[in-house]
Amino acid sequence: MERQLSDCRKIAAERGWHVAEEYVDNDISAYVGKRRPSYERLLEDIAAGQRDAVVVYNNDRLTRRPIELEQFTAICEAAGVTQLIAVTGGLNLGNDDGMFTARVLAAVAAKESARKSERLKRKAREIAESGRPNGGNHRPWGYEADRVTVVESEAEVIRRLAVRYLAGESLASLTQWLQDNSIPTVTGAEWHTSTIRNTLTNPRIAGLRSHNGEIVANAVWPAIITPAQHQQLVSTFARKTSSGRRVPRRYVLSGMLRCGTCGGKLFSSVRRETRRYVCMSGPDHRGCGRLTIVAAPVEEWITEAVLLRLDSPEMADALAGRAAADDRSVALNGELQSDQEQLTELAELWSAKAISSAEWKAAREPIEARIYSISRQLGQITGGNTLSGLIGNGNALRESWATLNLSRQAAIIAAILDFATITPAKTRGRAFDPFRIVPTWSR
């Protein structure tokens, strides 16, 4: 860049011209169509009558797009600027021959840029399909600067993040954990939920090579997690995104309690600083509104029941079926992706008016029903990931239970408990009656 500027200054000096300003857009191609702030400012200054000649290193430094050349010459013509001087040769934009030459040169430059771009794209695709890494300013987290050698300390953190997220822990909680333990990013900046999401959904950590969002090969570098775990992570992120749940959890049993009178879901509520679960009436909740239970005792009772169940023979049997569940998870994820793609295609057909609203609705409903069913099945399988290392260790978990955040506690409970029905109180009073709790175990 400095050499080009020096040559331009020399041309101006030879002609006895005063250089009013230098316009530099470094590392921004004149072909790709990105905004070039300095070039735009040059056009504004020419239009305002502040410039009477332009010096460039080469014509293709000004523009490689014929449409931009026409815009440039129109502005110059309106302002009375006829001289475009290049280090490699000058052009007079004030006559037909000069414009013809400029147009030819711009067309040739555009063709050369397009050809070069295509070569680079083919080369990038070739590198990807061979499983080799690409370049970049920063190394990927979990790997050395060669992008192949695993940094084991970081790889272990990635594995822990994957297991904990699949176990139901929130991204906010994982972000806080990384910050509390002073675990740095590659650049040394703070972790954010988006950074963790990008890390966990990146196919590279599963030993997969992607190109433009498509898996094209097995990578030459070692995997940190398994491809099955990668698919589970991608699907879990997709399900949580579609569910729209973003409100931080405040009650560990939210969504897991049912009313024994009407069967409706119980909702969290506070009355006079006392946390409760209540059956709410009205159009938004559609419950009977006639059942209430204080939150703390029922949470303690169900937590203890879950910890005891972790050490039961039934849970050991559930662990024995884990491998089959992982295989089933891969198959279900494939079905889920296919249904989601079909739903997108259906929406595009409706948007293009290829089908009517009635046809769109009729076709959409069975697809959404399948997606809901598959999501529930995947949720049950994910529960198996939640219990990794916990089955048979209920006593140890009991000692550390208070140190777990609410999202982790809720994930463990939900992996074992399908729901619990709260029956109406038989007598009035504030005494807790454990017989009001009727659990329905999922395992």
pLDDT at residue 114 above 60?
A: yes
Q: Report CA-CA distances (Å) from 342 to 189, 235, 363, 429.
A: 40, 16, 10, 55
Are 424 and 291 members of one domain? yes
Last residue of a domain, one of 187, 219, 243: 243
- Candidate ranges 31-40, 232-241, 277-286, 289-298; pick with highest mean pLDDT: 289-298
Instruction: Identify the pLDDT of residue 323.
Output: 46
Name the more confident of 109 and 343: 343
Are 80 and 208 members of one domain? no
Mean pLDDT for 218-226 is: 92
- Can you tell me the distance from the alpha carbon of 27 to that of 21, in angstroms, rounded to the nearest whole number? 19
Enclosing domain of residue 166: 152-243
Residue 139 lies in a domain: no
Residue 250 lies in a domain: no
Taking the alpha carbons of 202, 206, 207, 210 in that order, is the dihedral positive or negative?
Answer: negative
- Candidate ranges 123-127, 281-285, 333-337, 372-376; pick with highest mean pLDDT: 123-127
- Candidate ranges 54-68, 193-207, 243-257; pick with highest mean pLDDT: 193-207
What's the angle, vertex CA 12, arms to CA 10 and CA 14, rounded to 5? Answer: 70
Residue 31 pLDDT grade (very low, low, confident, very high; cuts 50, 70, 90): very low
Instruction: Identify the pLDDT of residue 57.
Output: 80
- Candidate ranges 56-65, 120-129, 147-156, 327-336; pick with highest mean pLDDT: 147-156
- Candidate ranges 65-69, 218-222, 310-314, 352-356; pick with highest mean pLDDT: 218-222
pLDDT at residue 327 above 70?
A: no
Residue 32 lies in a domain: yes
- Can you tell me the distance from the alpha carbon of 228 to that of 220, in angstroms, rounded to the nearest whole number? 18
- Candidate ranges 29-38, 100-109, 248-257; pick with highest mean pLDDT: 248-257
- Candidate ranges 232-236, 256-260, 318-322; pick with highest mean pLDDT: 256-260
Are 287 and 422 members of one domain? yes
What is the value of pTM for the model shown?
0.46
Are 329 and 432 members of one domain? yes
Instruction: Identify the pLDDT of residue 325.
Output: 54
Residue 138 lies in a domain: no
pLDDT at residue 313 above 60?
A: yes
Residue 338 lies in a domain: yes
Provide φ and ψ at 109, rounded to 5°: -60, -40
Mean pLDDT for 184-188 is: 87
- Can you tell me the distance from the alpha carbon of 133 to that of 147, in angstroms, rounded to the nearest whole number? 6
Long-range contacts of 236-242 (CB under 8 A, 24+ apart): 236/165, 236/166, 236/378, 236/382, 237/197, 237/200, 237/201, 238/336, 238/340, 239/375, 239/378, 239/379
pLDDT at residue 183 above 80?
A: yes
Ranges 41-50, 196-205, 296-305, 333-342: which has the least confidence: 333-342
pLDDT at residue 382 above 80?
A: no
Average per-residue pLDDT for the chain: 80
Name the more confident of 81 and 257: 257
Residue 331 lies in a domain: yes
Residue 249 lies in a domain: no
Name the more confident of 426 and 13: 13
CATH number, residue 13: 3.40.50.1390
Residue that has been written with the tokens 């569910």 in this structure: 243
Mean pLDDT for 101-112 is: 70
Mean pLDDT for 398-426 is: 85
Provide φ and ψ at 220, rounded to 5°: -80, -15
Are 416 and 275 members of one domain? yes
The proportion of the chain whose per-residue pLDDT surpasses 90, expressed as a percent, equals 21
**For the chain, what is the domain count?**
3
Last residue of a domain, one of 195, 220, 243: 243
Are 180 and 323 members of one domain? no
Are 390 and 279 members of one domain? yes
Are 294 and 405 members of one domain? yes
- Candidate ranges 188-192, 272-276, 382-386; pick with highest mean pLDDT: 188-192
Mean pLDDT for 354-380 is: 78
Are 203 and 277 members of one domain? no
- Can you tell me the distance from the alpha carbon of 197 to that of 146, in angstroms, rounded to the nearest whole number? 23
CATH number, residue 158: 3.90.1750.20
Residue that has been written with the tokens 């000096």 in this structure: 13
Are 218 and 267 members of one domain? no
Are 235 and 318 members of one domain? no
Residue 277 lies in a domain: yes
Give the model confidence (pLDDT) of 125-158 as tens digits: 888 888 888 877 789 999 999 999 999 999 999 9
